[in-house]
Amino acid sequence: MSKLYETTIIVKPDLGNDQVKDLLISINNFFAENSVSVGYQEDWGIKNLKFTIRKYSKGSFKFFRFESGSDFPKKLDIFLKYNTDCLRYLISKSSQKIDEITPQINKAN
C-alpha cells in the first residue's frame, strides 16, 4: 500500500549551478531506480539558518513530495545520509494533497 511522504533537504549554499543540477539529477535518478515518481517538487532558495550546521550559516532548501511504499523512505534515508552535499534532511508523512503549494515558497525568510 502506498502512502504520501515528503522530504525537505538542506543543500550546501556554495555549490555551483552544475553541481546543484547534478545533485538534483542524482536524486531524481534514485527515485526512478526505485520506480517512484516525484509528485511535486519545490525550490525554496537560499535561506539564513537559525544556527550553523557544519559551519554553514546559510542553506539551500529543496522540497519533494512523493507517493511510495513504506520501504522506500528507509532507502532514501540511507541515500541522503551518505550524500556529502546534503547538510540535513527530514522525511515525514504528508497530510496534504500531492500538488499543494507550501507556505515557504512565497515568503522571504
Partner 1 sequence: MMKKNNEFTQEDFIKLDYKNTHLLKRFINENGKIIPQRVLNTTRAGQTKLAKAIKQARFLSLI
Helix (H), strand (E), coil (C) string for 52-83: EECCEEEEEEEEEEEEECCCHHHHHHHHHHCC
Could you give the CA distance from residue 35 to residue 96 in angstroms, rounded to a whole number?
Answer: 22
Q: Does 46 bind partner 1 (CB under 8 A)?
A: no
Q: How far is the CB of 23 from partner 1 (least distance, A)?
A: 18
Considering only residues 6 through 35, tell me which ones interact with partner 1, judged by CB under 8 A. 8, 10
Interface mask toward partner 1 for 83-102; x: CB under 8 A: -----x-x-x--xx-----x
Q: Are 101 and 95 in contact (CB under 8 A)?
A: no
Residues near partner 1 (CB under 8 A): 8, 10, 47, 49-51, 53, 59, 63, 88, 90, 92, 95-96, 102-104, 107
